[in-house]
Structure 1
Amino acid sequence: MTTLVPARLRPGDRARVASVGLRARRLRSALSALGIAIGTAAIVAVLGLSSSSQAGLLSEIDRLGTNLLTAESGQSFSGDAARLPPEAPARISRLTAVEQVADTATIATANVYRSPLIPPVSTNALKVRAADLNLLPVVATGVAQGRWLNSATATKPVVVLGAVAAQRLGIDRVRPGQRVWLGGQWFYVAGILRPAVLAPEIDTSALIGYPAAQRYLNYASIVHGTVTQGPPSTVYVRCRTDQVDAVHEVLARTADPESPNEVDVSRPSDALTARAAASGAFNSLFLGLGVVALIVGAVGVANIMIISVLERRSEIGLRRALGATRGQIRAQFLSEAIVLAFLGGAVGVAAGVLATAVYATTKHWAIVVPAEAWTGGIGSAILIGALAGLLPALRASRMAPTEALRTV
């Protein structure tokens, strides 16, 4: 007597058999795949947007340069506010590796308002600063509207507003005769600056010339019995890129040889790089939401597969009666769950990539979607589909043919 061995289903046959059950219940299958798609889209979009934003920020850092250092007045040993010596910029400029030096001075006794009718306490967190005429190229910014200070306007009641300062004062363009109330008198607005990424304090400042600060706001120093401008509170230093670390080591001692511990030295690009690295700190939260959506999708897949097994008992019994093995029945339902999850994962990856591309384009970032984002999204969808379909597949394979055929 010859024993018939059931033929094995080839992968292509298995896929076609799996697709039959899904195509017969299209709406239910689509709704079940939606949860998988949402979770996968969330994962891909979070990783893609994070990578794109980091790439955009690092590109901005490269454009602005990583060779800017700042020396600021810190605190004295007693905790009081320290002051940089008026000679600090000149000393720093003598360092051989230094290419450009500019400085600003915060004038704590003056505030800027749109008009004298504004309550004095409504400062909008804006500062008045005296500035060198060569400040803009050193901090890598420029004028958005109007003009920057020159040797003539630096001696007059003329002000240039940072980007944020202009916005908070309600000034969107430079008009003839435009004035602001600064330090108890009117100053004419000459220009509005573009955002200074490496020096955000400039954005919230009203900038005037040192001679004007001395003449109209009484901001001056006495050096060897002579009244002179200053002192500065922040010195911006551009140095040779290959000598940044060397200049960083000696900058405090050069700015204030007597009290170098009262000088705070920083590298703005380091803060931006740290911000780029920290921008992924919140990714875990959104990735967690994506995982929750995937789990919800897995529950939906498991639910539809269990219902499918119950509804298709006659089909299972007929196939078993015609010689299908338990393994083939198990493979059929497990394949359906995997195909359903794969389709949901593929749609989710496409949606996540599209969301990343649209948002990155609006922000003028490079569109970056890490390979681990889409491969991990599809892989996790398939894994979840397999886990969700395992129990229904085992249940279908254990169904006896006689029991299943009772529903025929």
Structure 2
Amino acid sequence: MKQFETSQDTPASLRSIPSGIWALGFVSLLMDVSSEMIHALLPIYLVTVMGASMVMVGIIEGVAEAAAAITKVFSGALSDWLGKRKLLAVIGYGLAALSKPVFPLAASVEWLVAARFVDRIGKGIRGAPRDALIADIAPAHARGASFGLRQSLDTVGAFVGPLLAIGLMWLSANQFVTVFWAAVVPGVLAVAVLLIAVREPARPADLRKVRAPLSLPELRRLGLPFWLVVCVATVFTLARFSEAFLILRAQDMGLSIVLAPLVLVVMNVVYSLAAYPAGALSDRVNRLTVLILGFLILIAADLALALPESLAGVALGVALWGLHLGLTQGLLATLVADTAPPELRGTAFGMFNLSGGLALLAASLLAGMLWDAFGPQMTFLAGAGFTALALVGLGLVRWRVPALGHSRKKS
């Protein structure tokens, strides 16, 4: 049976989390603010100002996200082959920052498509190496707290960005270009913080050199526990389709279009508040116990959204959705770090992110078809069903690999 990294140290407080983790968290926050200031307005800008069709908007988003998902696999594997994480993270964040000035300067839809594509490629390049770098920096006894903190700060950016965009649009009398230029600033700051404040730990001398990270022998080295985590996470992702359906459900229950962005604000506020405590808790108890709680909360969220009696019911469902994200997303990443060999962490996060990205695409397509054919109630009930299936799978994993999820050795 594979031995997981553990520690007998006392679980970390916020102050004892390494400064590199804090720095990576603020890098994520700043880049998310920059990206969301643009992305919150981009669909409207494309259609109303640039004259793009809704089909073009869909193509842009689909191609960009697919490119990001595929790039994650290769960037993670490359970081294992090079034995360097920070270099690829800097390239990824740098590309995203360089793409930002193109949005206010773009004279045609083609330039906006190119900028969006480069931005998502940058996201794909940085994702797996950054997560592997967090795993390399974080002490074993504080790994859950470290991933939770990074996730929490990242999510703060996800709701601060749209709020800043709304405020600047109001102050500038709906000048899209002014908001796009303002978004350049946090993007540049993110790269500066990464360059200055994040130090990559020295590669241990006895760590095995990886020559072909994506070869079948190396993928087998990731081990059964890792692949079981990926399988459970993939089934679980089929239950958590795009948050756009939360907005549609709120509008279906009478929420005005003007207030629609508040749905994501509520969700992300709860998400950001829950992510760090959930990670810290997972360093004290079995991680799978916290994960099971997150799965149960998603079932409750789906039921609240499937059977709401008013907008208050939808608000409850949205808040529970954010809570489940806080209890699961950082923990799944922590389990990847727990189970993957240190020299293959980049590859592991790349494979994990690819399977999750493809599952999210399939989940959103399925949710759309169920919504059109049977209505919103069936969409969320199906989500509850997939979550229940993932919960059964998680129980089987816990039975098959009893050591999985234990963050510390028992004295």
Fold-level match, TM-score > 0.5? no
TM-score by structure 2 length?
0.25
TM-score by structure 1 length?
0.25
Over alpha carbons, which structure has the higher Rg?
1
Query: Structure with the greater relative contact order (CA < 8 A, sep ≥ 6): 1 or 2?
Result: 1
Higher strand share: 1
